[in-house]
Amino acid sequence: MSEVIDKVALRSTVQKHLSSVEKPSENTSLMNDALRKEIKSLLIQKNAVLVAHYYTDDDIQALAEDSGGVIADSLEMARFGANHPASTLVVAGVKFMGETAKILSPEKTVLMPTLEATCSLDIGCPVDDFSAFCDQHPDRKVVVYANTSAAVKARADWVVTSSIALDVVNHLTDMGEKIIWAPDQHLGGYIQRETGADMILWDGACIVHEEFKAKGILDLKAVYPNAAVLVHPESPESVVEVADVVGSTSQLLKASKEMTNDTFIVATDRGIFYKMKQASPDKRFVEAPTAGSGASCRSCAHCPWMALNSLELLRNALRDGSGEVFVDEATRVKALVPLQRMLDFQIS
């Protein structure tokens, strides 16, 4: 893989993008109340619905819930947006989620609070390099994670999210297929270990999940011996090894509701705590440690791009039509095939 994409260059591209985007300004609660009111009325006026990811900030999630929208993982966001009768989808999340909504619902207007909200996995998988890599392995099925650009999806045979990746790879393995997996190397490695599939992996990573540390989690376990450890498989293998449950965001949320432990150490974006605490107000949720005290990362247990979604930008998008997502038609038509395959697979 190193001949395809240089990891140091990739990290620097990711950091450069992070430094170039402005963090949203802090508002007072009075300002937020006014914004919430305005957004709710704009949603009605514009026949729009708010589709928010679990990793967005609490105020966005609460508004989605309050206004008849949805809080979900990327698979459910895609499905909800495609099935909802609103003519405008306001997607609070990161860019590939807006693109996915547009690919599935070209007749709808898709708005995002900011088009600067991207993802290290998407940045780390440029279509030209990826396409060249696929061309070197024409005997393999190309399976890409949803966290990719529309152009990369258009090059794939399958799109998957973390909630169905294992099932799809098992299905392909049963059919005797060999696989190219992109872009998350940790999730790909986890699937490979679980399924025994013949996979070659792209070298991408999520800058949030990659920061979790097994030692820190074990130290926390000593403080909370009855805690269950919930880990998203975008985390490194050493972190997955100390987990009681490994799963997608929605699978971890389900586990936190169903397990009887009173404490959970959670190795995924802390945005999920909003729904976890809402579902289990008597349980304690503790962030899994990341790079440790003194770390200077902007991604410690919270995605810096998800954090760009603010009420103010959301209001602007609805009021002014800013942040509209477009996907060129030729790419859209190609990307729809593996996306639809994923949705149909889930249904069958």
Q: Closer to ligand SF4 at the Cβ: 81 or 124?
A: 124
**How many CA atoms lie within 13 Å of 138's alpha carbon, on the beta-carbon side?**
1
269 touching ligand SF4, by CB under 6 A: yes
Binding range to ligand SF4, per CB under 6 A, among 19-27, 149-157, 243-251, 302-310? 302-310
Q: Does 57 bind ligand SF4 (CB under 6 A)?
A: no
Residue whose token pair is 């070659």: 200
The amino acid occupying position 199 is M
Nearer to ligand SF4, 164 or 306 (CB): 306
Are 221 and 228 within 8 A, CB to CB? Answer: no
Number of residues that bind ligand SF4 (CB under 6 A): 13
Q: Which stretch binds ligand SF4 (CB under 6 A): 136-144, 202-210, 290-298, 336-344?
A: 202-210
Could you give the CA distance from residue 9 to residue 67 in angstroms, rounded to a whole number?
A: 42
Structure tokens at 281: 């107000």
Closest distance to ligand SF4 from the beta carbon of 94 (Å):
4
With CB under 6 A as the contact rule, the residue among 54, 212, 273, 305 that binds ligand SF4 is 305
The upper half-sphere exposure of residue 187, i.e. CA atoms within 13 Å in the direction of its Cβ, equals 31
Distance CA 200, CA 181 (A): 6
* Per CB under 6 A, 207 contacts ligand SF4: yes
Annotate each residue in 106-145 with x if it binds ligand SF4 (CB under 6 A) or - if it does not, as one string.
-------------xxx------------------------
Residue with tokens 């190397």: 185
* Position 208 contacts ligand SF4 (CB under 6 A): yes
Find the shortest distance in angstroms from Cβ 73 to ligand SF4. Answer: 10
CA 246 to chain centre: 16
CB of 97 to ligand SF4, least distance (A): 8
The whole-angstrom separation of Cα 105 and Cα 84 is 10
The least CB distance from residue 76 to ligand SF4, in Å, is: 15
Q: Which is nearer to ligand SF4, 43 or 146 (CB)?
A: 146
**Interface segment toward ligand SF4; rule CB under 6 A; list 23-31, 196-204, 254-262, 299-307:** 299-307
Interface residue with ligand SF4 among 303, 325, 327, 336 (CB under 6 A) is 303
CB of 53 to ligand SF4, least distance (A): 8
Q: CA-to-CA distance for 327 and 347, rounded, in angstroms?
A: 26
Contact letters for ligand SF4, residues 36-55 (x by CB under 6 A): -------------------x
In the complex, minimum distance from the CB of residue 301 to ligand SF4, in angstroms, rounded to a whole number? 10
Q: Residue 152, interface with ligand SF4 (CB under 6 A)?
A: no
In this structure, the strands spanning 245-246 and 70-72 are unpaired
Q: How far apart are CA 153 and CA 158, in angstroms?
A: 8
Nearest Cα residue to 146 out of 124, 166, 164, 161: 161
The residue range among 2-10, 20-28, 154-162, 201-209 that interacts with ligand SF4, by the rule CB under 6 A, is 201-209
Q: In whole angstroms, how large is the CA radius of gyration of the chain?
A: 20
Which range touches ligand SF4 (CB under 6 A), out of 23-31, 136-144, 152-160, 303-311? 303-311
How far, in Å, CA of 331 to CA of 154, rounded? 6
Question: 3-class SS at 70?
Answer: strand
Q: Which of 253, 217, 17 is nearest to 117 (CA)?
A: 17
CA separation for the pair 181, 156 (Å, rounded): 10
Considering the complex, what minimum distance in angstroms separates the CB of residue 333 from ligand SF4? Answer: 25
In this chain, which of 206, 217, 255, 301 binds ligand SF4, going by CB under 6 A?
Answer: 206
Cα–Cα–Cα angle for 262, 264, 270, nearest 5°? 135
List residues near ligand SF4 by CB under 6 A. 55, 94, 119-121, 147, 206-208, 269, 303, 305-306
